[in-house]
Structure 1
C-alpha cells in the first residue's frame, strides 16, 4: 500500500512538473482511505458538491480540478475535514476511518499548510477537553490562561511563516483559526457562569470580558463554512439567545424558546445568505430532532423558511419535519421492516406484543452495545411489564447475528433493520443512543428518550400507573 501511495505521489509530481505556465490554475487531490466505510469520497466547497470520487480496488482515489478557486474545501467520507487549496496544489492524503482526524496526514504540494490546519484542529480539541478545569478560575485568571494558549499558537505560526511561503488567503484562515478558537473559549466560560446550575459557584463576569463582542465580523465570506468561525458564532448566539429568556426558563439549547430566539438573532446579525442558510439549517435540525409539539414545530419551521433560501436545505428540513411529526406522542410507530436472526422479515409493529422500549445499537461500538444490553437487562428485571427490543442499525447480517448468539442476547427480541436508509428517516435515527417507548399497540409514548437517562424510569413507572 505504501508503494502505491508513493507511485501516486510521483504521478502528481510529474503532472506538476509538466505544467509550463507561470501561474497554474488547476489542482490535484488523491490518496488512500484505510478501512473505508463507502466506495467513494465527496469533495465540496461552500456546501456544494464538486464531485464524487470513487475508490479503486486498493481504496485509492485521485481527482483533477481544472480551475481551482483558492480557499477552503471539505472532503467527506463518513466524517469530514477542511482543506485549503491553491492553484498548483497536488495534495495526497491518507486517513484511517477508525481514527479519522488523528490519522489524517498530507503529502505533496500544499501538504505543509494542510498538515498545519489539522494540527491546529487537534490542538484545539485537546485544549477544549482541558477547559472545564479552568472554569473555576476568576474571569481575569481564565482570560490570562487562554491568552497564553493563543500566544503559543501565534508563535508557532510565526515560525511556520518564516519557513513557508504562504498566500494571503491561507494566512487569513490561520489568523481566524487562532482568533475564533480563543473567543469560543470565552463564550464557553460565559455560558458556564450564566446558567443557573445547582451546586455551582458562579463567577461575576466584568463588562470588559465581553469586549470582544464589539468587533465581530458576522459575514466573513472566506470563513463561512470553517468550523472555528462557525462554532464561535453558534456559541455566541446560544449565549445571546439565553439572555433573552434566562429570567423565565432554564437553559436548554434544544428547546422551542431557545431556538426561536436564536433564529431571530441570526436574522438580525447575519447578512450573508450562505451563513444564514448554514446556521438556520443546523439549529432548526437540532431542534426538530427533539421536537414534541406540532404547533411549536411549525413556528420554528416558518422562521427557518424565512431565513433559508437554499432549496436543498428546505427540502431536507421539510422532510425531517414530516418524519418528526409522524413520531410524536400518540402517533402509531412507523412500520419499518426488520430482519430476524433466522433471516426472515418481520414488521416492527408485529414485534411489539406489549408495552415496549426500542433501543438501537451498532457492531461498530462494542463498548456501547455491551453497555446498552446490560442496561436493558437491568431494566427488564425491574420492569417486566415492558419488552426491551434491541434493533441493530448495521448492514452486515452475519456479523450482527454472530454477536447476538455469542453474547447470549434474547434472539426473540433482537432484530436488524432491513432498509437502513428508509428506517433512519422514518424513525429519525440521528443518534445511536436514542430510544422510544410505545404501548402494546405501537402507539408512541416517548419519541426521544435514552436508556441511561435518570428520567427514563420515571417515564416507565408513569405509563405503568396510567
Structure 2
C-alpha cells in the first residue's frame, strides 16, 4: 500500500517537475526523477552496452534528460554501484524516485510510461521473493518439483493476462518483455534444477527426468539481441546453455570446470546462439569466467583455441590475448617484481615496503569490471578468516581518489602511469596475486570469489 501511495505522490511531483523544466513537446522522450541519499552526482543511461547520456543531479538531487533518436525498448540506468531497467517508448516522460539505502525496493515510476515500468519492477521484486521457495523446491523429486513449477507459471501467466486485458494498447515489444520478466526466472529455475538437486541425491548423480520436463523450450526464442542485457532473459540463456552441455554426458562439477566441459560449452554456444552480438558475448563471458574459476595460472590451451576459432569479435580476441600474456608474465614459484604504487596520501611506495615480509594477497581491481559492492564483503570475509595474511587492494586505473570507502584506507593503493605493474595488467582486468613472506608467488592469477583460491590461503596462513 505504501509503495502505491508513493507512486501517487510521485505522479504529482512529476507534474510539477516537468512544469518547472518547461517540457511541452509531446513527441520527445524524457527520463528523469529524484535520487534520495545519492551515491554520486549523476545517473548514466544505457541502451544495451551503449551509453545514451550522463544525467547530472541538480537542485534537490533531481535530474532530467531528453533522449534523442530514441528506440522503443529496454534501457538501463546506473547510479553508484546499483543498476535497474526502464522500458521507454517514443513520447514517454518517465520519472523515477528512489532511495539508495533501499534501491530496488524504494524505486517507483510516474508519468507517461510509468505503469509498464512499475509492473516490471514488481516482477523483479517478486522474483527475489521466489528465491526462498526454491531452496525447498530443489530438494523435491522431479515430479513434485514440476508440479510446483507448473502451478507457479500459471500464476505468472494470469498476472500477464490481467495486465494486458487492462492495457490492450501495449506494444508487442512490451508484451514480450513483460512475459519474459514474469516467466523466464521460473524457466531458469527449471534449467538449474538438475544441477542443484544433485547435492540432495544419495548417489550424487543427476535426477532422471521425463520427456516433458523441458516442454516449455518449444515456446520460446533464445536469439533476441534486444533482451540479452535483461537479467531474466540472459540468466535463462546462460543456465540453458550449461544444462545442454551437461546433457552431453558430463558429470556434476563441484569445483572447477574441466577443459572438456569448457570446450563443449563453447561449441554449444556456437550451435545454439545464431546472432553474432549475443554469441560473441556468451563466448567471451564463458572463457573468462572459467579461467577465473580455476584461480591459478594454468592456461586451458584447447579451450582458448576453441574460443579464438568461434568468436568473430576482434576486440574480444585482443582482450583474451592480453589476459593470456598477463598470466604468463607472473607465474608460480617466481618472485614478484618490486613495482611502485601510490597511497591515498599521494605518497609513492614500492610494493615490498608495504608488504614488509608478510604473507599477502594483492588484489588489483578495475571499476569497469568489478564493483565495490562485490569487493567489500569478500575482502572483509577473507580478512577475518585469514588474519595472518595481509590483504591489499590496488586500483589499476581510474581516479586517484576513487577508493573503496568501507575498507581500510591503509590497505588501499592505486597505480600511476609509470608503474611496472602495468606490464602484467595489460588487460586491465581484476587479478589476485598471492605471495609468501619472501615475495615468492604462490598463486599468480586468482579470483577473490571462487572456493578454489581458499586452499592456497589456508596453506599459506599456516606458514
User: What TM-score do the two structures reach when normalised by structure 2?
Assistant: 0.78
Closer, same or farther: CA 57–336 of 1 in aligned 2, 3 Å: farther
Look up the SS of the partner of 1:190 in the other structure.
helix
Question: CA–CA distance in 1 between the matches of 2:65 and 2:190?
Answer: 40
Where does 1:59-74 land on structure 2 (aligned, <5 Å)? 59-74=61-76
What corresponds to 1:12 in structure 2? 18
Structure 1 residue aligned with 2:50, among 48, 56, 71? 48
1:283 aligns with 2:294: no
Look up the SS of the partner of 2:235 in the other structure.
helix
Where does 1:230-245 land on structure 2 (aligned, <5 Å)? 230-244=234-248
Question: CA–CA distance in 1 between the matches of 2:460 and 2:76?
Answer: 47
**How many Å apart are 1:397 and its aligned residue?**
7.4
**How many Å apart are 1:237 and its aligned residue?**
0.9
For 1:141-193, what per-residue CA distance to the aligned partner results, in whole angstroms no more than 9, with x for missing partners? 21121222222222223332333342221111112233322211111112224
User: What TM-score do the two structures reach when normalised by structure 1?
Assistant: 0.77
**How many Å apart are 1:221 and its aligned residue?**
3.9
What corresponds to 2:412 in structure 1? 416
Look up the SS of the partner of 1:67 in the other structure.
coil
Alignment check: 8 A CA contact 1:339 1:345 kept: yes
What corresponds to 2:149 in structure 1? 146
**How many Å apart are 1:100 and its aligned residue?**
2.8
**How many Å apart are 1:253 and its aligned residue?**
6.4
Question: CA–CA distance in 1 between the matches of 2:416 and 2:239?
Answer: 33
1:210 aligns with 2:209: no
Alignment check: 8 A CA contact 2:44 2:51 kept: yes
**How many Å apart are 1:59 and its aligned residue?**
3.4
**How many Å apart are 1:208 and its aligned residue?**
2.0
Alignment check: 8 A CA contact 1:435 1:451 kept: no
1:102 aligns with 2:105: yes
Q: Alignment RMSD, CA only?
A: 4.2
Instruction: State how many pairs are aligned.
Output: 436
Where does 1:274-313 land on structure 2 (aligned, <5 Å)? 274-291=277-294, 292-293=296-297, 295-296=299-300, 299-310=302-313, 312-313=315-316
Alignment check: 8 A CA contact 2:99 2:107 kept: yes
233-242 vs 47-56, which moves further: 47-56
Structure 1 residue aligned with 2:185, among 178, 181, 184? 181
Look up the SS of the partner of 1:137 in the other structure.
coil
Question: CA–CA distance in 2 between the matches of 1:182 and 1:239?
Answer: 15
Question: CA–CA distance in 1 between the matches of 2:61 and 2:351?
Answer: 37
Alignment check: 8 A CA contact 1:363 1:369 kept: no
Look up the SS of the partner of 1:208 in the other structure.
coil
Look up the SS of the partner of 1:83 in the other structure.
strand
**How many Å apart are 1:204 and its aligned residue?**
2.6
Where does 1:381-420 land on structure 2 (aligned, <5 Å)? 388-392=389-393, 395=401, 414-419=410-415
Closer, same or farther: CA 329–228 of 1 in aligned 2, 3 Å: same
Question: CA–CA distance in 2 between the matches of 1:89 and 1:454?
Answer: 48
**How many Å apart are 1:318 and its aligned residue?**
4.2
Closer, same or farther: CA 121–7 of 1 in aligned 2, 3 Å: closer
Look up the SS of the partner of 2:214 in the other structure.
helix
Higher relative contact order (CA 8 A, sep 6+): 2
1:438 aligns with 2:435: yes
Question: CA–CA distance in 2 between the matches of 1:35 and 1:330?
Answer: 48
Question: CA–CA distance in 2 between the matches of 1:364 and 1:186?
Answer: 27
